A and B are shown apart, each in its own frame.
Chain A
Amino acid sequence: MSIAEQPTNKTDNPLKIVEDATCTFCGCVCDDINLTVEGNQITKAQNACVLGKAWFFNHHIEERPEALIDGQPATYEQAIDRAAQILLESQYAITYGLSDTTCEAQRVAVAITDWIGGCLDTTTSVCHGPSGMAFQGVGEVTCSLGELKNRADYLIYWGGNPAESHPRHFTKYSLMPKGEFVPNGRKDRTAVLIDVRKTKTAKAVDIHLQLKPRSDFELAWALRALAKGLELDDSVEEKTGIPLAQLKEVMEGMKKAKFGAILFGMGVTMTRGKHLNSEAVLALARDMNKHTRWVAKPMRGHGNVTGADNVVSWSTGYPFGIHLGRGYPRFNPGEFTSSDVLGRGEADAALIVASDPYSNFSQPARDHLKAINTIVLDPKLSETAKIAKVAFTTSTYGINEPGTVYRMDDIPIPLRPAFDSPYRSDYDILKAIENKIRKHQLEAVNAGLKAGEFRIVSGCSSAW
């Protein structure tokens, strides 16, 4: 970290320059941002894209209570007590969110869920969860973003609009930069967009395959067939909207590439077919390796959603949708994923970390979330915070807090905070809740031992 403090004549606030700060708005996790900080306000964010600037300029300190219990202002200590009580008394709690916080906080959230025998899920389940399932089915031919920058001469953006959602992916990692084996940058690369819409990304690429909605699966399998040299008839165009001749042309280009990459977004995972769509795209990249080097990478959204996948995977063996109630992890998307658990009206408590499911989930899931005891940690007010029994105001990771996040290519990157917050971090709050829970559980065990009983407290509820 390189932080130089300098006095300023303009204001009483000290001027601080934070070099190589890390932006955690999207999965690109750009770590070359130079911040100018005046007091508790970031005034310049050199190298940041339009989304990064909005992230850095709008996370100043807000005047809000540190916590709310039933909508009434409360202290952190009161809220931590209440949160621990809710989680201990629950029969079937669910932990959700986690993609906009540090890996350190994610680890504590996993531990809490394990101690109380709850369900563990992250925003991955409504993002690239289907891709996570597909990795288990067909594997992942992968690479780092640095390899893309230095090697990729054929890029296929599939079901995503990075020009708007990941603006610096183009300039820093994939489309534009000059690299060791692509010294002329953009001129050395061919770019294709596969999307139902003619988005801003369409203007940046050489070829736009504007497929019909809900035909990603068929298009991927048509390309797989062409990669194997099989003959196809014109029904491909009828189904996908893409002329067979154009598909053959693209496949020729793919085979001639030295290093190709499919970068796929939620147009693939959120559309009917879901994990089967992701599987088809991943299998296409795998098949192409019979001709030349190809990889496929999901374009990840939130700043540390990749960290959530990593932390949850190394802790439990699975990336999301996990039940810990039997004392060992069980993975079952559709059963233990939040949309389903809440939509079926099953959970009786929820621990929501840095996420707003009350704005984004289906109506049945939202209705249930409102009906149960919900605990929320969020730096900003959200609809979920409004309906929560206990709502914590937190500091913002990366801006106020150090820690580790994972870039979308699974590269861990340190955070370099800009200024202190009067609010506590997710990690501190979660650790305090965990300590309360463990203290109570251990006291219950000791009391049982003294009375000549032995009770397993972890993994089941116990009276507060």
Chain B
Amino acid sequence: MSTPKPSRALLALSAAAAALPGYSGEAQAWAEEQADAGYRYSHYQEASLPASATNGGAGERYEVDSHQFHLLHPYGEAWDFSADLMLETMSGASPWYVAPGSGGQAIQVLSGASIQDQRTVLQGRARQHLEQGRRALSLGVSKEDDYLAYSGGVEAEWDFNQRLNTLSAGLGYSYDQLKPTDGGSARFPNRIAKADKDSFTAYAGLSRVLTPQTVAQLGLSYSYSDGYLSDPYKLAYVDANLLPDSRPPDRNQWALTGRLRHYLRSLQAALHVDARYYTDNWGVASDSLEVAWVQKLPSDWRLTPSLRWYQQGHANFYRPYYNATREDGFYSSDYRLSAYGALSGRVAAEKSWRGFSFSAAVEAYQSDGDFALRSVSDESPGLVDFLVVSAALSYRWSLAPPTPRSGGALQPEPALPAPVQIVPATP
């Protein structure tokens, strides 16, 4: 049964009206029954550690090659399905433990053997478009040589107040299983052979159109993890002994996020501001702020420079190394739990041509205790600096045939009544 196709003006209006948080971009695609497919390649390269911070020589670190494949396809008038496949190859050395040097300075010891691992992630999502919102179900699996994770989630968005506001919420669960390489072997008798964890995530967000050029969103997310949360490959130097990395078996994580988008008509550019405050029951608190400038250029080019700043305090059981045992038995010298700050700069260029879009980006990330606002006294010697280069290609095509017009001539569009009823592009 064929359905009358809405006029181009109505499609444009519906797409514009649907341009709300979590929805813009894909909104137009859905309104026009478009599918898209794409591929992205990324190369992640960590900088070597300086010889002064390691146990001799420049510390070669990690690199990752990632291939991402994406497909989104509408089905009927209310559904779309998307699938994402990621293949990653990881190699290099990883921080192992930190020991005191002759002058008491912290020295990072890297894993001697080069790590080789592959990661495959497959995620699928089914989404239903409703008159006043959307709801979606997603499932995923991630597999590495020593790691297997199953995840699933439900998400919903509800537009109200003439689509000036959107309320969004989601619930997710992940079951992760670890089987560390050489776990329980004669060489590594203290390394666990097998462990698992459960993670639950919930979030809610509220967005609001503030002006014809400004939209903002506030979000709150909570995550609870239970099980083995330590790093099976890392050790801690405790009073001249090397003990396994040991962290509390549960973690409560909270994040408050704020996002703003503002369009500057005279410059044909958009200002993006993303901020987050994070805290958890391990004593870590962090702040991050990212500012991006999305500049439209002639011939469908777009240039986006962005700057991101991040800082965190250390976990309450973290030390670079320990001169005495702790009563609670928790030890970790993982640089991720150290206090530090980080700055990263990024530039992305994108070009659209007919249904094709191409983009290339480079990002440089540097971390240092001096980038934090608070003074950092026990900074890890293993803080990471990295460079990411990536390129992506995508193609979007329309599934709906061109709108037939009676009489072959364009009809004048009817005047819009006030207040306007927002009519979905497809009933």
Partners in one complex: no
Q: Which residues of A contact B (CB under 8 A)?
A: none
Q: Which residues of B contact A (CB under 8 A)?
A: none
